[in-house]
């Protein structure tokens, strides 16, 4: 269960694989799409800068990781989210390289499941030629998420600097149409893979509960994005939460379940491969990384 690094791939870049669980031949782990730095002011909406700074112990910024979960089974791989691709932000877009170094060939990925359609989760779904990055995969998205980004008034719902999120989502989904499957959450969408509605960060956001032997691991996506703010201050609005109140209610429900079941979770933007557990801490919670 330890993190291990080794050299692999053409670039000989060190690749970190974080193992989440192993059950027989099946393995659940994360690899990295890279990372980017977010100023403290972008981590929250509505709180005073000095309040945020105090909560962060004085930190001015956060290195946000991009952790891609991979489920390996004899019949092929399932990958959770696609990373940011080459055109979103410097420091991200390393998924294909990381997968290759981890021994995951793009051709052997059978399913790609999205938590939501923000750029850092969706834009890696197309290669440089605009074709699906995983040529043999079916791509799965919640119906609510697909519908949200296709609303007629979507541009009016987004702040001006995030309208590109909407045009980007529409462009990527359009190219993926022949291999894109929509699902309704609160059901098992693939064997041993339950999609749980965790709305708020986006209206159709889902998390995934993966059954590995007798254990269930939650792939939380962006329901929990920061190791302090999302856990110790779950009622605060995240900087990128579309519906703040809904996201807060989702976080509390999810944190309560993860803590009471002592369940392992993985957060897309959390440190050290995203792996950890949740503990109750007073009236709120604490993230135990590792
Ligand atoms: Zn994200």
Q: Give 84-114 pLDDT, tens digit per residue.
A: 999 899 999 999 999 999 999 999 999 999 9
For the cut 50, the answer to whether the pLDDT of residue 46 exceeds it is yes
Q: Which of 268, 69, 82, 290 is nearest to 279 (CA)?
A: 290
pLDDT above 90: residue 9 = no
Backbone φ and ψ for 195, nearest 5 degrees, come out as -95, 120
Mean pLDDT score, 132-149: 98
- Report how far Cα 64 is from the mean position of its chain's Cα atoms: 11
Residue ranges of domains in the chain, CATH in brackets: 4-289 (3.60.15.10)
- Give the pLDDT band (50/70/90) at residue 83: very high
pLDDT tens figures, 117-127: 999 999 999 99
Query: In angstroms, rounded to a whole number, what is the distance separating the alpha carbons of residues 265 and 290?
Result: 10
Q: What is the four-CA torsion angle of 151, 234, 221, 127, rounded to 10 degrees?
A: 60
Contact 220, 264 (CB under 8 A): no
| Residue environment code for 135-172, b if the CB has 16+ CB neighbours within 10 A, otherwise e | eebbbbbbebbbebbeeeebeeebeeeeeebbebbeeb
Q: Which two tokens stand for residue 63?
A: 């290195």
User: If you average pLDDT over every residue of the chain, what do you get?
Assistant: 94
Q: What is the mean pLDDT of residues 161-180?
A: 97
| pLDDT at 153 > cutoff 60 | yes
Per the rule left: phi > 0, alpha: psi between -120 and 50, beta: everything else, 88 is: alpha
Has residue 6 got a pLDDT over 60? no
Are β-strands 275-281 and 187-190 bridged in parallel, bridged antiparallel, or unpaired? Answer: unpaired
The pLDDT, as a whole number, for residue 87 is: 87
CA of 87 to the centre of ligand 1 (A): 15
What is the CA(251)–ligand 1 centre distance, in A?
15
Contact call for residues 44 and 238 (beta carbons, < 8 A):
yes
Average pLDDT estimate for 119-144:
97
Confidence of residue 8 (pLDDT cuts 50, 70, 90): very low
Cα–Cα distance, 45 to 99 (Å, whole number): 34
Q: What is the mean pLDDT of residues 63-72?
A: 98
Alpha helix ranges (H) inside 186-262: 229-232, 244-260
CA–centroid distance, residue 269 to ligand 1 (Å): 7
Token pair 């099946």 is found at 26
pLDDT for the residue 267 = 98
Between the CA of 237 and the centroid of ligand 1 the distance, in Å, is: 15
Lowest mean pLDDT among 9-13, 126-130, 206-210, 277-281: 9-13
Output the six-digit token pair for 113.
């499941």
Q: How many A from CA of 286 to the centre of ligand 1? A: 20
pLDDT at 2 over 60: no
pTM for the model stands at 0.94
For residues 274-289, average pLDDT: 97
Structure tokens at 154: 């979507």
Average pLDDT over residues 167-173: 98
Q: How far apart are CA 257 and CA 276, in angstroms?
A: 14
Q: Are strands 13-23 and 61-73 parallel, antiparallel or unpaired?
A: unpaired
pLDDT given for residue 14 in this prediction: 65
Percent above pLDDT 90 for the chain: 93
Going from the Cα of 254 to the center of ligand 1, the distance in angstroms, rounded, reads 17
User: So what's the pLDDT on residue 15?
Assistant: 81
Compute the distance from residue 24 Cα to the ligand 1 centre, in Å.
31
How much distance in Å is there from the Cα of 120 to the middle of ligand 1?
A: 5
Q: How far apart are CA 34 and CA 205, in angstroms?
A: 22
Mean pLDDT of 28-56: 95
If DSSP codes are grouped into helix, strand and coil, which group holds residue 32? Answer: strand
Q: How far is the CA of 95 from the centre of ligand 1 (A)?
A: 14
CA of 182 to the centre of ligand 1 (A): 20
**Could you tell me the distance, in angstroms and rounded to a whole number, from the CA of residue 222 to the centre of ligand 1?**
6
Distance between CA 290 and CA 278 in Å, rounded? 11
């Amino acid at each position: 269960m330890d993190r291990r690094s080794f050299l692999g791939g053409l670039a000989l870049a060190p690749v970190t694989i974080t193992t989440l669980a192993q059950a027989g031949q099946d393995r659940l782990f994360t690899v990295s799409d890279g990372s980017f730095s977010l100023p403290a002011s972008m981590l929250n909406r509505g709180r005073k800068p000095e309040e945020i700074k105090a909560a962060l112990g004085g930190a001015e910024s956060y290195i946000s990781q991009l952790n891609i979960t991979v489920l390996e089974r004899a019949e092929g791989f399932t990958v959770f989210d696609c990373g940011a691709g080459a055109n979103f932000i410097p420091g991200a877009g390393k998924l294909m390289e990381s997968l290759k170094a981890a021994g995951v060939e793009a051709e052997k990925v059978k399913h790609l499941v999205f938590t939501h359609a923000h750029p850092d989760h969706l834009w890696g779904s197309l290669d440089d030629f605009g074709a699906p990055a995983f040529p043999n995969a079916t791509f799965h998205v919640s119906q609510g998420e697909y519908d949200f980004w296709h609303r007629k008034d979507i541009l009016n719902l987004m702040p001006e600097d995030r309208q590109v999120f909407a045009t980007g989502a529409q462009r990527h989904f359009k190219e993926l149409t022949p291999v894109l499957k929509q699902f309704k959450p609160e059901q098992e969408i693939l064997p041993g893979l339950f999609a749980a509605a965790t709305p708020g960060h986006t209206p159709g956001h889902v998390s995934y509960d993966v059954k590995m032997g007798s254990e269930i691991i939650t792939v939380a996506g962006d329901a929990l994005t920061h190791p302090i703010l999302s856990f110790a201050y779950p009622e605060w609005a995240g900087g990128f939460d579309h519906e703040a109140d809904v996201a807060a209610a989702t976080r509390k429900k999810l944190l309560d379940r993860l803590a009471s079941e002592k369940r392992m979770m993985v957060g897309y933007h959390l440190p050290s491969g995203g792996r950890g557990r949740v503990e109750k801490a007073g009236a709120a919670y604490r993230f135990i990384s590792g």
